[in-house]
Amino acid sequence: PHIRLLDPEHGSTSLANLFGLPYVIEAKSRPFDRTTLHNNWQRNGTEAFSLYTGMTGKIDDELATQAVSSILRFLTRMGIIRYYSHSGYIASVLKESDLEPIMTEAAGIFIRKAECGQEVSRGDVLAQIMKVDSGEIISEVTAPTDGIIFYADKACCLFKSFGISDNQENSSVKNLKIF
């Protein structure tokens, strides 16, 4: 889980740290973001934060509990409510542009070998791609650098060109991100 600040010049990383989550991500607005309530509040002078739990498409009870606790922790630290919880984390502040997307080169069954939060070294196998009809491993995804896995897609089936783009900056699907 992390807090995402759009256009950090409009937001405060010190306030974002009050949520007590492990990471605060500073990100530039994308065209999609310009239509969101978060962006409009921020542009009108309100401190706004997006909380990402690390799961889309379904609810993970543990991550949801951590997200709720972080909101209650923030409200307590702001003096809005009384709530007792552990102190949380001192967040690492990262720039989204420093996250390195790692793309797959083949379609097939995606077998993750590294989990979010795991430290990896350059060359470590992060995932394998298995051919659907034969079970043969046809590709390995390796770490291009030393770092920590920040995001890993939960999709188990990759279709042709999944995550592949002529211009990786514009790719809408990224399997793994490392910092």
pLDDT at 11: 67
Mean pLDDT for the stretch of residues 84-107:
86
Confidence of residue 34 (pLDDT cuts 50, 70, 90): confident
Q: What percent of the chain has pLDDT over 70?
A: 85
- Which of 58 and 124 is assigned the larger pLDDT? 124
| Number of neighbouring beta carbons within 10 Å of residue 76 | 16
- Please state, for a pLDDT cut of 90, what percent of the chain lies above it: 30
What is the rounded average pLDDT of the residues 120-141?
92
Whether the predicted pLDDT of 174 surpasses 50: no
> What is the amino acid identity at position 63?
L
pLDDT category, 10, cuts 50, 70, 90?
low
What angle is formed at CA 115 by the lines to CA 98 and CA 69, rounded to 5 degrees?
Answer: 85
**Residue 98 confidence (pLDDT):** 87
Confidence at residue 48, expressed as pLDDT on a 0 to 100 scale: 84
The pair of structure tokens assigned to 107 is 């379609």
Per-residue burial over 47-67, b if 16 or more Cβ lie within 10 Å, else e, is ebbbbbbbeeeeeeeeeeebb
H or E element at residue 25: strand 23-27
Residue 178 has pLDDT above 80, yes or no: no
What digits encode the pLDDT tens for the residues 55-83?
A: 777 888 998 999 999 999 999 999 999 98
Q: pLDDT by residue (tens digit) across 143-154?
A: 998 988 888 777
Instruction: Using the structure block, give the residue that is written with the tokens 């720039």.
Output: 95
Q: How much is the average pLDDT of 116-131? A: 91
Note the pTM of the prediction, 2 decimals: 0.74
